[in-house]
Amino acid sequence: RRDTRGAVTLLFFGYTHCPDVCPVHMANLAAVLDRLPTQIADRVRVVFVTTDPERDTPARLREWLGAFDARFIGLTGPPEQLERAQIAAGVLPAVRDTAAGENYSVGHAAQVIAYTADGLGRVMYPFGTRQADWEHDLPRLVRASGEAPAPVAVEGAFGFAPPTPDAMAVYFTLRNRSAAADTLVAAEAAGAGTATIHRQVAEGGRVRMAQVERLPLPGGGRVVLEPGGLHLMLDSLASRPVAGDTVRVRLRFARAPSVDIDVPIRRFGE
């Protein structure tokens, strides 16, 4: 509940060895979320709960779901807990075909349950729901959920006007308002070829930059990007920003919706 607060949650019980129903549902949802506006797609969580905990390890779930969309969440647990979850959600518990040996199949509920931000189940979408239906309904469900408080706040952003358009650094503080840990996974900047997080590393009397692929953000905590430490590096700028300009930056997180910020540019020394 904590991790899906403020979002529309699409809950599905299935298993990764399923040849048809499960991958079709996931592929349809991934395709629709790719087409929807960012402000809508970022308010949708897809939660896939396995009905085959023996074979669906966390690593297997991550790999399988990642083939559709890295944002999809996979859950597992003890069989009795998974059965209670299905009953609580109002679907028939899954049944394993015990006569099939190691290559068994699992009979499971085929519907996706949509919950709005208030935690109430609103719609059960059966197998066969078309992409056009998802594309029509998801924005309505998001709008019905109202405005959600941004779980990640960006404070004190600024950058120094670079002497050339080759590269510049941007600094800010990330504050996680949620109790759940998150991760900054990517960044984009208007007019920049790339935007990557780097850390200043001192070793043997020298300093160098080391790229940080994913920046953890602890639940209820903050991470500071500042001169001499972590910074967002913008490379290959289309033009050289000068003091008084702003640069639009988008930050993408593993859990929280993307955040757009207009970074004010200062003179060096200010």
Structure-model confidence comparison of residues 99 and 45, the more confident one: 45
Q: Measure the CA dihedral 73/77/79/82, to 10°.
A: -50
* pLDDT over 60 at 253, yes or no: yes
CB distance 248 to 170 below 8 Å? no
The helix/strand/coil state of 139 is helix
Strand pairing partners for 262? 248
* pLDDT over 70 at 217, yes or no: yes
The predicted model gives 131-145 an average pLDDT of: 93
CA distance linking residue 144 with residue 123, whole number of Å: 13
CA distance linking residue 174 with residue 198, whole number of Å: 15
pLDDT of residue 138: 96
CA distance linking residue 108 with residue 156, whole number of Å: 50
Q: 127-136: per-residue pLDDT in tens?
A: 999 999 999 9
Q: 81-136: per-residue pLDDT in tens?
A: 999 999 999 999 999 987 777 889 999 999 999 999 888 899 999 999 999 999 99
Reported as a pLDDT band with limits 50, 70 and 90, residue 13 is very high
- Put residue 170 in one of left, alpha, beta given phi > 0 → left and psi -120 to 50 → alpha: beta
* pLDDT over 80 at 178, yes or no: no
- Lowest-pLDDT choice from 37-41, 73-77, 182-186: 37-41
DSSP line for 172-238: EEEEE-SSS-EEEEEEEETT-SEEEEEEEEEETTEEEEEEES-EEE-TT-EEEE-TTSEEEEEES-S
pTM of the model: 0.58
Reported as a pLDDT band with limits 50, 70 and 90, residue 42 is confident
